[in-house]
Amino acid sequence: MDIERKHAELIDLFVKQAAVLDGPALAGLVLEVTSHPSLFAFSEILSVPNLAKLEGTQYSSSLDVLRLFAYGTWGDYRSNAGSLPALSPDQVRKLKQLSVLTLAETNKVLRYNQLMQELDVSNVRELEDFLINECMYAGIVRGKLDQLRTCFEVQFAAGRDLRPEQLNNMIQTLSNWLDTSDNLLYLIQEKIKWADTMSEATKKHRKEIEDKVEEVKKSLKKLNTLSRQTWTYEAMRTCSLNMED
């Protein structure tokens, strides 16, 4: 929670600075933002109106770099290096860290060969050092290095900035989830009603059975009494006939 608070304070600081800067000063701020060791989210800074004013100016490449760090990967930079400014070592490290987060969004088991290709790393030792020192120690991922299976098992990964189209997809996903939840809630309520109805029916059926049992008991009691009375009458009659004889 303390890390999240500091991260939010850091973003707020850069947003306020971007709101009052322009031109070369704003380009310098982009360099600072994309090099900062503790900053991994950039969409709020990117949304500051002053940044949009760099479009079409001699500093427009700074805006492209900020977009790259918000949504792109090291692979994207290599594919477009000709149209982007050279990155500092701190920026390169940061972009590679962000690339690991992007990979972890869709797969919780990252193969070493895939990571080495995406991060432009030449050997396993260098890759494991990067994952440990630059990712796990930085707190942006948690996981297990499996040297036997040559993979990194991701247990946690910090989220990246959402592209506008991803935001729309997320809203649709949440909307679908809400509809499913409403349907599930309706089914649960219907099941509860059914259970209550069955409970009342069971109680009613039990009462009917108990009443019938009582009726049978009463009938048996009357029959028993009648049988005794009949037996007594027959016994007295037999005795009377014997006396007459």
Determine the Cα–Cα distance for residues 74 and 81; give it in Å rounded to an integer.
10
Kindly write down the DSSP assignment for every residue of 29-87, as one continuous string: HHHHHHH-TT----HHHHTSHHHHTTTTSTTHHHHHHHHHHHH--HHHHHHTGGGSPPP
Rounded to 5 degrees, φ, ψ at 3 are -65, -45
Q: What band does 243 get if pLDDT is binned at 50, 70 and 90? A: low
Q: Which residues pair with 110 in a beta bridge?
A: 152
Give the mean model confidence (pLDDT) for residues 120-136.
Answer: 96
Range with the lowest mean pLDDT among 35-49, 71-85, 150-164, 228-242? 228-242
Beta bridge mates, 203: none
User: Quick one: tokens of 171?
Assistant: 């809203």
pLDDT tens, position by position, 169-192: 767 777 777 778 878 777 787 778
Predicted pLDDT at 87: 96
Rama region for 154: left / alpha / beta (φ>0; ψ in -120 to 50; rest): beta
Range 89-161: architecture per CATH: Orthogonal Bundle (1.10)
Confidence (pLDDT) at 245: 54
* Interacting residues of 102 by C-beta distance below 8 A, sequence separation 6+: 73, 160
Digit-coded pLDDT (tens) for 75-124: 999 999 999 999 999 999 999 999 999 999 999 999 999 999 999 999 99
pLDDT of 213 higher than 90: no
